[in-house]
Amino acid sequence: QQQVKQSPQSLIVQKGGISIINCAYENTAFDYFPWYQQFPGKGPALLIAIRPDVSEKKEGRFTISFNKSAKQFSLHIMDSQPGDSATYFCAASIERGSARQLTFGSGTQLTVLP
Amino acid sequence: DAMVIQNPRYQVTQFGKPVTLSCSQTLNHNVMYWYQQKSSQAPKLLFHYYDKDFNNEADTPDNFQSRRPNTSFCFLDIRSPGLGDAAMYLCATSRVGGSRQRERYEQYFGPGTRLTVT
């Protein structure tokens, strides 16, 4: 029930195309859904996040779509650029005792071809 | 800029030789986390501190310990590193009870320390 399932495992997109990464969760107690971008040898960086009372959030070329009833959320990267090539992790967050627990998806390696 | 700093960025240690990784933060966050991330995998939480209260994950091996001498610093000690402990170690922080909504929910990660065990 604590799992977050992420797909696809890898994604290759042409420059200018749309990259779409999907995630699904089971635990309805999760109350925050961040996406992290990670470049090789670097720590994850928060990209965009959404709360479950919102169906969509857009920041620049990045959009999260959230379907509460289906317990699914997705990241859309518009006009994908080679610099977007990285590993993307979705996550679901819940307050557990004295801290925030993050449950990560398995990651998607995105390659944007020039 | 406020941030999470990890030192060293790269650490090589010998099999069985104790090693300490450090994390510092200027965000004044009350929670600090340590994650282990192996190649092509998601980060896995080892433990966290809420102020001085230590919280261990159930499946974290006894080989891993942590210390938090003050709000700004947290250390990860690996008592007897094995080859299977080679990984990226990530420190993260968050603020429980913060007044700013975004701050209450987010975890901020450091750049990580890449540990190699020879």
| pLDDT, tens only, A34-84 | 999 999 988 999 999 999 999 999 999 999 999 999 999 999 999 999 999
So what's the pLDDT on residue A1? 56
Provide CB contacts within 8 A for B25, sequence distance 6+: B2, B3, B4, B5, B32, B72, B91, B93, B108, B110
CB contact under 8 A, A102 and B45: yes
Q: What is the CATH number of the domain that holds B68?
A: 2.60.40.10
Query: Are A93 and A4 in contact, with CB atoms under 8 Å apart?
Result: no
Report whether pLDDT(A18) > 80.
Answer: yes
Q: Is B96 on the interface with A (CB under 8 A)?
A: yes
Say whether B109 and A101 touch across the interface (CB within 8 A).
no
- Contact check, Cβ <8 Å, A44/B106: no
B53 contacts chain A (CB < 8 A): yes
φ and ψ at A41, to 5 degrees?
A: 75, 10
Q: E strands of A26-70, at which residues?
A: 33-38, 45-50, 56-59, 62-67
Chain centroid to Cα A5, Å, comes to 11
Q: What is the pLDDT of residues A53-63, one digit of tens each?
A: 999 999 999 99
Nearest to B111 among A42, A49, A98 (CB): A42
Q: Distance from first CA to last CA of chain B, Å, rounded? A: 36
Alpha carbon distances (Å) from A36 to B19, B71, B77: 28, 25, 26
Token pair, residue A36, equals 């992290």
The alpha carbon of residue B43 is apart from the nearest alpha carbon of chain A, in Å, by 7
Q: How far apart are CA B39 and CA B114, in angstroms?
A: 11
The tokens for A15 are: 């420059």
**A42–B110 CB contact, under 8 Å:** no
Per-residue pLDDT of chain B (118 residues; tens, 9 = 90+): 669 999 999 999 999 999 999 999 998 999 999 999 998 899 999 999 999 999 998 899 999 999 999 999 999 999 999 999 999 999 999 987 766 555 667 889 999 999 999 9
User: What pLDDT is recorded for position A97?
Assistant: 76
Across the interface, of A31, A42, A100, the residue whose CB is closest to B107 is: A100
Residues of B whose CB is below 8 A from A41: 88, 112, 114
Q: Is A66 on the interface with B (CB under 8 A)?
A: no
Name which of A90, A113, A110, A111 is nearest A102 in CA terms: A90
Enumerate helices (H) and strands (E) in chain B, giving the number of each: 1, 11
pLDDT of residue B99: 60
What confidence score (pLDDT) does residue B1 get? 61
Minimum mean pLDDT range among A9-18, A90-99, B69-78, B98-107: B98-107
Tell me the β-bridge partners of A49.
A34
CB contact under 8 A, A101 and B45: yes
A97: left (phi over 0), alpha (psi -120 to 50) or beta: left
Mean pLDDT, all residues of chain A: 94
Domain ranges, residue A107: 4-113
Q: What is the pLDDT of residue A56?
A: 96
Tokens of B39: 């190649």
Note the pLDDT of residue A57: 95
Closest chain A residue to the Cα of B42, Cα to Cα: A106
Residue A97, domain CATH:
2.60.40.10
* Beta-bridge partners for B10: B114
Take residue B20 and report the two structure tokens written for it.
């300490």
- B-chain residues near A47 (CB < 8 A): none
How many structural domains does chain A have?
A: 1
For chain B, what is the domain count? 1
